[in-house]
A and B are shown apart, each in its own frame.
Chain A
Amino acid sequence: MGQYVVGRLAQSVVLLIFVSILTFGLIHVAPGGPAVLLAPGMSGAQIAEAQQSLGLNDPIPVQYVRWLGHLVHGDLGRSYSQGLDVTTLITKRLSVTLQLLFTALVLSAIFGILIGVVSAMHRNSLIDHLATGFSFFGMSVPTFWLGLMLIILFSIKLHLLPSSGAQTLGQPATATDRLEHLLMPAVVLAVANLAQIARYTRSSMIEVLQADYLRTARAKGLREQSVVWRHALRNAMIPVITVIALGIPRMVGGAAITESVFAWPGMGQLAVDSALQRDYPTIMGITMMVSVVVILTNFLTDLSYLLIDPRVKLNRG
């Protein structure tokens, strides 16, 4: 088991190095990379001087190693557009994004699994058809449009929820105020993932419900509730956890969109703004930071298999 953990950790590190090369390479190899865009309106001599002092004339691999060296020490460089330290800029916003992401993840996992199990138990019933319809809707609806529609309905027409921000400005932050601001963005971000989780839970559950050991459990006289929720669900969860983990990178992208719709002051919004202003240090820093979070989550997911499925230990440990 120790070996398995170490192996997975090593894989995660390799993956991170790969991401860093990809991000750095894409930006520096691209025509019109950072060298050109340092500051519009500078004279040729000024540009040359700035490039020299920032080390942009060195070969790309040298620049990469230097960047990586700073990165390891937590230094992501200085933002072009805001003149601030990228690390400070990002850490301030990371927790705000994680709040949104975590709420949405929990919402989608709980309701996705619930809907999936109920559909599997009542296959081809009205509930099942409604759930399938909802899943298709969830996978097809553009996140940002769903956000806009909810704003029109709940903020503009019904005046029930705030349309933007993470808290009411100029008021002491209360828990209800925070929750009211969090609700719509979290639901919007959760929908696509929820649909995916519901579909996978349903098909996984249907397969497991036909297993012999469940017939045994029923034959022993266990109540159906106990058969489904205690015996079947545990095994049906294994592929579902994979889907949840695979959904996280996409959800992080969805967070960028959701934050822009609801003016949620997190990292996603910062990434979009930096992209629009071609603020390379910031956008590279965010991509790296987000990748660390995602890859770390994947690593933890793999560890969770150890808890839920003892066979992992035997096969790979």
Chain B
Amino acid sequence: MSTTGLAEREKETSGAALTGERAKRPSVLQRFAENRFALVSAIFLIVVMVAAISAPVIAPYDPTRITIGTELQGPSLKHLLGTDPNGRDVFTRILYGARISLSIGVIAMLISVFVGTTLGAVSGYFSGWVDSLAMRLTDAMLAIPVFFLLLAVLASLGPTVPTIVIAIGLTSWMTTARVVRSEVLRAVNLDYVLAAELLGASRGRVIVRHLLPQALPSMLVASTLGVAQAILIASALSYLGVGVQPPTASWGNMLSDAQSYIFSEPMLAIWPGLMILFTVLAFNFIGDALRDALSPYQN
């Protein structure tokens, strides 16, 4: 935000004070849309999501059926991105892969935000031993190499989509917990919270209705960045073979298929990777822009 922006804002507020009108400060959405990267990212994600949802309609082929005689074809009008070693259409598999990869990212994020928010809110509200226990747990989870824990868990529970989602969700809530806790701590002594308590509101109600709304902006940022992280981790697990299992297409396991053909067919490895990169990049850009848009007076 430049100095002219500040001056304008001052003018607007003083004008509003004079006329008694509401100040026309740019809304969060407007500030968000000012960031061109974030806007492009949002459009990209919407396109990918719509394509993923309508994959059964728009995908030209079956994503898993192995056909003989069409292996490893280059891009053509029939096969936009060519075919894989099993004769399956790469474009179709990218579309279906988007369904899996995006769902895993979003659901894992929801779990991690739920756990992180609960833990953060409870520990911020009830200080004392509850707080220190929750925070030591958070520190511990941050200090250990979680990826190896994921490998161990998926080895013992078996790599199905639900276990992957739950395992990622349960190992990635730490940032949210910390952020929510600090927001709750900041709000817990404000007058309106004390007023609610004096009026006899239950602890649960105080947390959910009065404290969590304060943490909502930070939760929104953390969850956007969380989807990005979850997609990256899930794709890595699938690539290593302990994630989504073939024949189901995910962007990660498409890449592990492609690796054996990397010398002869390097293009096979490029498309799924670009999809992961752009999707994760988009979520990161949006998260960053949200952070700026939601806290306009920082920087």
**Contacts from A to B (Cβ < 8 Å):** 15, 18-19, 22-23, 26-27, 30-33, 136-137, 139-145, 148-149, 151-152, 156, 246, 249-250, 252-254, 256-257, 260-261, 271-272, 274-276, 278, 280, 283-284, 286-287, 290-291, 294-295, 298
The answer to whether B269 and A145 touch across the interface, beta carbons within 8 angstroms, is yes
Give the distance in Å from the alpha carbon of A110 to the alpha carbon of B258 in the complex: 34
Chain B residue contacts of A137, Cβ below 8 A:
277, 281
**Contacts from B to A (Cβ < 8 Å):** 139-140, 142-149, 151-158, 228, 232, 235-236, 239-242, 252, 255, 258-259, 262-263, 266, 269-270, 272-273, 276-277, 280-281, 284-285, 288
User: In the complex, how many angstroms separate the beta carbon of A173 from the nearest chain B beta carbon?
Assistant: 26
The answer to whether A276 and B148 touch across the interface, beta carbons within 8 angstroms, is no
Give the distance in Å from the alpha carbon of A284 to the alpha carbon of B151 in the complex: 10
The answer to whether A276 and B241 touch across the interface, beta carbons within 8 angstroms, is yes
Give the distance in Å from the alpha carbon of A295 to the alpha carbon of B142 in the complex: 10
Give the distance in Å from the alpha carbon of A278 to the alpha carbon of B154 in the complex: 9
User: In the complex, how many angstroms separate the beta carbon of B19 from the nearest chain A beta carbon?
Assistant: 36
The answer to whether A275 and B281 touch across the interface, beta carbons within 8 angstroms, is no
Q: List 19 A-B contacts (CB under 8 A).
A: A15-B143, A30-B153, A30-B156, A32-B156, A136-B288, A142-B280, A148-B255, A156-B262, A156-B263, A249-B142, A249-B146, A250-B145, A252-B145, A256-B240, A272-B151, A276-B242, A283-B148, A286-B148, A291-B144
Contact of A283 among B145, B155, B239, B272 (CB under 8 A): B155
Known: A249-B145, A271-B151, A280-B155. A148 touches B140 (CB 8 A): no
Chain B residue contacts of A152, Cβ below 8 A:
262, 266, 269
Contact of A290 among B148, B155, B157, B235 (CB under 8 A): B148
Give the distance in Å from the alpha carbon of A249 to the alpha carbon of B273 in the complex: 24
User: In the complex, how many angstroms separate the beta carbon of A47 from the nearest chain B beta carbon?
Assistant: 17
Contact of B149 among A144, A278, A287, A295 (CB under 8 A): A287
User: In the complex, how many angstroms separate the beta carbon of A24 from the nearest chain B beta carbon?
Assistant: 10
The answer to whether B242 and A272 touch across the interface, beta carbons within 8 angstroms, is yes
Contact of B236 among A144, A149, A278, A294 (CB under 8 A): A144
Chain B residue contacts of A295, Cβ below 8 A:
143-144
Give the distance in Å from the alpha carbon of A271 to the alpha carbon of B158 in the complex: 15
Contact of A145 among B147, B156, B241, B276 (CB under 8 A): B276
Q: Residue on B with the closest CB to A144? A: B239
Chain A residue contacts of B144, Cβ below 8 A:
15, 19, 22, 249, 291, 294-295
Chain A residue contacts of B142, Cβ below 8 A:
246, 249
Give the distance in Å from the alpha carbon of A179 to the alpha carbon of B239 in the complex: 27
Chain A residue contacts of B258, Cβ below 8 A:
148
User: In the complex, how many angstroms separate the beta carbon of B177 from the nearest chain A beta carbon?
Assistant: 15
User: In the complex, how many angstroms separate the beta carbon of B154 from the nearest chain A beta carbon?
Assistant: 7
User: In the complex, how many angstroms separate the beta carbon of A313 from the nearest chain B beta carbon?
Assistant: 22
Q: Residue on B with the closest CB to A24? A: B152
List the 9 closest A-B pairs by CB distance, nearest first.
Answer: A253-B147, A145-B273, A30-B156, A275-B155, A140-B281, A275-B151, A140-B280, A252-B145, A287-B148
Chain A residue contacts of B270, Cβ below 8 A:
149
Chain A residue contacts of B276, Cβ below 8 A:
142, 145
Q: Residue on A with the closest CB to B228? A: A140
Known: A256-B151, A275-B152. A291 touches B255 (CB 8 A): no
Known: A18-B140, A22-B149, A140-B277. A156 touches B266 (CB 8 A): yes
Known: A19-B140, A22-B149. A272 touches B255 (CB 8 A): no
Among B139, B148, B259, the one with the most A-chain Cβ atoms within 10 Å of its Cβ is B148
Chain B residue contacts of A23, Cβ below 8 A:
149, 152
Among A23, A31, A144, A151, the one with the most B-chain Cβ atoms within 10 Å of its Cβ is A144
Q: Residue on A with the closest CB to B231? A: A142
Chain B residue contacts of A246, Cβ below 8 A:
142
User: In the complex, how many angstroms separate the beta carbon of A235 from the nearest chain B beta carbon?
Assistant: 20
Taking A30-B157, A272-B240 as known contacts, 19 extra A-B pairs with beta carbons closer than 8 A to each other, sorted by chain A number, are A19-B144, A26-B149, A140-B232, A142-B239, A142-B273, A143-B236, A145-B255, A145-B272, A145-B273, A149-B269, A156-B262, A250-B145, A256-B148, A257-B236, A260-B239, A272-B242, A275-B152, A284-B152, A287-B145
Q: Residue on A with the closest CB to B235? A: A142
Among A22, A142, A261, A283, the one with the most B-chain Cβ atoms within 10 Å of its Cβ is A142
User: In the complex, how many angstroms separate the beta carbon of B225 from the nearest chain A beta carbon?
Assistant: 9
Q: Residue on B with the closest CB to A153? A: B266
User: In the complex, how many angstroms separate the beta carbon of A293 from the nearest chain B beta carbon?
Assistant: 9
Contact of A260 among B146, B240, B277, B284 (CB under 8 A): B240
Q: Residue on B with the closest CB to A12? A: B143
User: In the complex, how many angstroms separate the beta carbon of A143 from the nearest chain B beta carbon?
Assistant: 7
